[in-house]
């Protein structure tokens, strides 16, 4: 189905059409361009998308947005980044979809994926979501510009690492429902306090449509601060969590084969379902999903079924059995990102994983500013509580933790992800459970890829 015609793109971006065309998708990374796509040639600090216009058309692009001459069908504009944002605004303006925005210090991608799965089960094929973790000033407009005309539900992840960024993004997305998953130390290099992080996350409510719903974590020490940020913009504030008093809460949680069996209370109603993802943090995420589905008028029973069927998310908790000798080891892939709160949460998952021995491959947590050393050193306690018997620490930022662990837990401290892979391979044995987690820039996904490339036997 046609997503955009050349004339519609020109009208939205105030551009000039050169050669008529219609597109079925949008991309700004030439490597991701497929047949029928619109290629947006963004100009950045390190590269210029105009260098890849020819490549995009070789891969099947039907048209392009450019600010420089080209012989291919295109719409020419003054500024391609501004044009992408304008196209996103046009997509939002023409849509009758119920729009949900998701942010938080941790859990936003997983919550976005789970919420999309729930809504897509309710209206098969009619739900749209942000791709990957495209949640910044270019990723959010791209995800909006890709939204099909007939979408019933749109779920958009929004991130930030500076004050004011979410305020700008949410005014483009204009959500009917806005979720903050959690508040925790993340990007503290750019904020004077965690309270300031809460204020920056609370900016998501500024874009709410009139009468919209704010979904706030009840168990957070910053709950009242977030509620205060939401009040001027929200028609309704709904809290979610694990403790009594939340509007949507888990009233009973029991371990299941790979996740949890949950009884949830949504207002005056109760819902029982199996959550496929392990960990208390995922139970909290599920409560946020139920709160949003309810606010969107969706079927809670269908949402519960979707949560039971949710597959593991690569880099965000996917569990894989990898062949080791005559047996297997369980790999917990949390390699995409890390902050102190998510480190503690996933170490608890490791602790609950049956294993002969528990190993943690932990990469440094970046953008933590002056408190970085203290945050890293403080991981010693959750490592001990998780029963970790061997640790591989990666990066200079892990030096404070290495000093604390000396004499307590056997470990090796290496500078790079490649070294971590070699260190893990040297000790990995059948029956082990291995957690791999660190900031994305550390590159621990390469360790996961190397382990699973030839060893994978099954995954959850």
CB 206 within 8 A of CB 178: no
257 has pLDDT over 90? no
pLDDT higher than 80, residue 405:
yes
366, 252: one domain: no
The answer to whether residue 188 scores a pLDDT higher than 90 is: no
Q: Which two tokens stand for residue 132?
A: 């990957």
Q: Are residues 67 and 138 in the same domain?
A: no
* CB-based contact 150:125 (threshold 8 Å): no
Do 236 and 348 have their domain in common? Answer: no
For residue 258, the model assigns a pLDDT of: 79
Please say if the pLDDT value at position 33 is more than 80: yes
End-to-end Cα, the chain, rounded Å: 34
Q: Would you call 131 exposed, middle or buried from its count of C-beta atoms within 10 A (0-12, 13-18, 19+)?
A: middle
Residues 331 and 438 in one domain: yes
pLDDT confidence of residue 325: 87
Q: Please, how many CA atoms are within 13 Å of residue 29, restricted to the half-sphere of its CB?
A: 9
Structural domain that includes position 38: 4-83
- What CATH number is attached to the domain comprising 385? 3.90.190.20
pLDDT at 459 over 80: no
Determine, yes or no, domain membership for 90: no
The band of 456, judged by pLDDT with boundaries at 50, 70 and 90, is: low
> For 214-231, what is the mean pLDDT?
97
Tell whether 28 is covered by a domain.
Answer: yes
The reply to whether 429 falls in a domain is yes
| Band of residue 46 on the pLDDT scale cut at 50, 70, 90 | confident
Task: Please say if the pLDDT value at position 85 is more than 90.
Answer: yes
Please indicate, yes or no, if residue 365 is contained in any of the structural domains. yes
**Among the three residues 309, 327, 360, which one is the final residue of a domain in this structure?**
309
What pLDDT is stored for residue 156 in this prediction?
Answer: 98
Of 309, 341, 372, which marks where a domain is finished?
309
Q: Burial level of 87, CB count in 10 A (0-12/13-18/19+)?
A: buried
Assigned token pair, 138? 């270019």
The mean predicted confidence, pLDDT, of the chain is 94
Q: Which of 87-96, 181-190, 217-226, 406-415 has the least mean pLDDT?
A: 181-190
Q: Which of 252, 276, 309 is the last residue of a domain?
A: 309
Helical axes 165-173 vs 80-94, angle rounded to 10°:
50
pTM of the model: 0.87
CA 423 to CA 420: how far, in whole Å?
5
Confidence (pLDDT) at 223: 97
Average pLDDT over residues 264-275: 95
**Is the separation of the CB atoms in 197 and 187 below 8 Å?**
yes
Residues 323 and 440 in one domain: yes
Of residues 67, 109, 108, the one with CA closest to residue 84: 67
Q: Inform me whether the pLDDT recorded for 87 exceeds 90.
A: yes
Alpha-carbon gap, residue 106 to 175, rounded angstroms: 20
Do 352 and 334 lie in a common domain? yes
Integer Cα distance of 284 and 302 in angstroms: 18
Q: How far apart are CA 419 and CA 410, in angstroms?
A: 17
* Tally of CB atoms within 10 A around 408: 11
Per-residue pLDDT tens over the stretch 195-210: 999 999 999 999 999 9
Instruction: Quick: pLDDT tens for 8-26.
Output: 999 999 999 999 999 999 9
- What is the pLDDT averaged over residues 369-395? 95
Q: Which helix (H) or strand (E) holds 219?
A: none
Residue 88 lies in a domain: no
Same domain for 305 and 323?
no
**What is the reported pLDDT for 134?**
82
Give the integer Cα–Cα distance in Å for 329 and 430: 5
- CA-nearest of 366, 369, 354 to 437 is 366
Q: Is the pLDDT of residue 104 over 70?
A: yes
> What's the token pair of residue 154?
């749109």
Please tell me whether residues 297 and 322 are part of one structural domain.
Answer: no
Mean pLDDT, range 377-384, rounded to an integer: 96
Domain CATH code at residue 67: 3.40.1390.10
Has residue 368 got a pLDDT over 80? yes
* pLDDT tens readout for residues 148-162: 999 999 999 999 988
| pLDDT above 90 (res 457) | no
Question: Same structural domain for residues 178 and 239?
Answer: yes
CATH classification at residue 239: 3.40.1190.10
The answer to whether residues 392 and 272 belong to one domain is no
List the 269-275 sheet strands across, edge first: 127-129, 153-157, 98-103, 177-180, 213-217, 236-241, 248-255, 260-266, 269-275
Residues 104 and 239 occupy one common structural domain: yes
Residue 89 lies in a domain: no
How many domains, in total, are found in the chain? 3
Identify whether 258 is part of a domain: yes
Say if residues 306 and 114 touch (Cβ distance below 8 Å). yes
Q: Is residue 42 part of a domain?
A: yes
Clarify whether residues 359 and 413 are in a common domain: yes
Percent of the chain with pLDDT over 70: 98
Q: Centre a 10 Å sphere on the Cβ of residue 261 and count the other Cβ atoms it contains.
A: 15
> What tens digit of pLDDT does each residue of 316-359 get?
888 999 999 889 999 999 998 889 989 999 999 999 999 999 99
Residues 244 and 211 sit within 8 Å (Cβ to Cβ)? no
């Amino acid at each position: 189905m046609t997503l955009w015609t050349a004339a519609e793109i020109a009208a939205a971006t105030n551009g000039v059409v050169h050669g008529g065309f219609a597109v079925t998708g949008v991309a700004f990374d030439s490597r991701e361009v497929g047949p029928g796509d619109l290629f947006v040639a963004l100009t950045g600090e390190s590269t210029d998308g105009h260098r890849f216009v020819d490549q995009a058309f070789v891969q099947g692009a039907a048209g392009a947005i450019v600010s420089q001459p080209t012989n291919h069908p295109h719409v020419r504009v003054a500024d391609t980044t501004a044009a992408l944002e304008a196209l996103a605004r046009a997509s939002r303006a023409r849509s009758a979809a119920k729009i949900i925005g998701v942010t938080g210090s941790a859990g936003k991608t997983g919550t976005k994926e789970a919420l999309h799965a729930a809504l897509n089960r309710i209206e098969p094929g009619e739900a749209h979501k942000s791709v990957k973790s495209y949640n910044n000033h270019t990723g959010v407009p791209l995800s909006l510009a890709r939204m099909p005309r007939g979408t019933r539900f749109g779920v958009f992840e929004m991130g930030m690492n500076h004050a004011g960024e979410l305020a700008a993004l949410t005014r483009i997305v204009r959500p009917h429902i806005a979720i903050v998953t959690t508040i925790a130390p993340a990007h503290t290099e750019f904020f004077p306090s965690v309270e300031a992080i809460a204020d920056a996350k609370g900016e998501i409510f500024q874009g709410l449509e009139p009468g919209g719903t704010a979904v706030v974590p009840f168990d957070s020490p910053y709950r009242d601060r977030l509620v205060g940020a939401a009040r001027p913009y929200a028609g309704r504030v709904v809290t979610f969590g694990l403790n009594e008093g939340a509007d949507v809460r888990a009233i009973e949680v029991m371990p299941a084969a790979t996740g949890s069996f949950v009884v949830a209370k949504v207002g005056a109603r109760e819902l029982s379902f199996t959550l496929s993802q392990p960990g208390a943090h995922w139970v909290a995420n599920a409560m946020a999903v139920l709160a949003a589905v309810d606010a969107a008028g969706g079927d809670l029973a269908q949402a519960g079924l979707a949560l039971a069927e949710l597959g593991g998310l690569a880099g965000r908790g996917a569990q894989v059995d990898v062949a080791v000798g005559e047996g297997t080891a369980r790999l917990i892939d949390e390699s995409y990102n890390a902050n102190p709160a998510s480190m503690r949460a996933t170490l608890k998952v490791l602790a609950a994983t049956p294993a002969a021995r528990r190993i943690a491959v932990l990469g440094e947590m970046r953008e933590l500013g002056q408190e970085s050393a203290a945050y890293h050193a403080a991981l010693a306690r959750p490592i001990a509580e998780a029963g970790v018997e061997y640790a591989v620490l990666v990066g200079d930022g892990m030096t404070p933790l290495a000093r604390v662990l000396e004499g307590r837990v056997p470990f090796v401290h290496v500078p790079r992800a490649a070294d971590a892979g070699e260190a893990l391979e040297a000790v990995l044995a059948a029956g082990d459970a291995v957690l791999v987690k660190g900031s994305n820039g550390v590159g621990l996904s390469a360790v996961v890829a190397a382990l699973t490339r030839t060893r994978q036997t099954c995954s959850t």
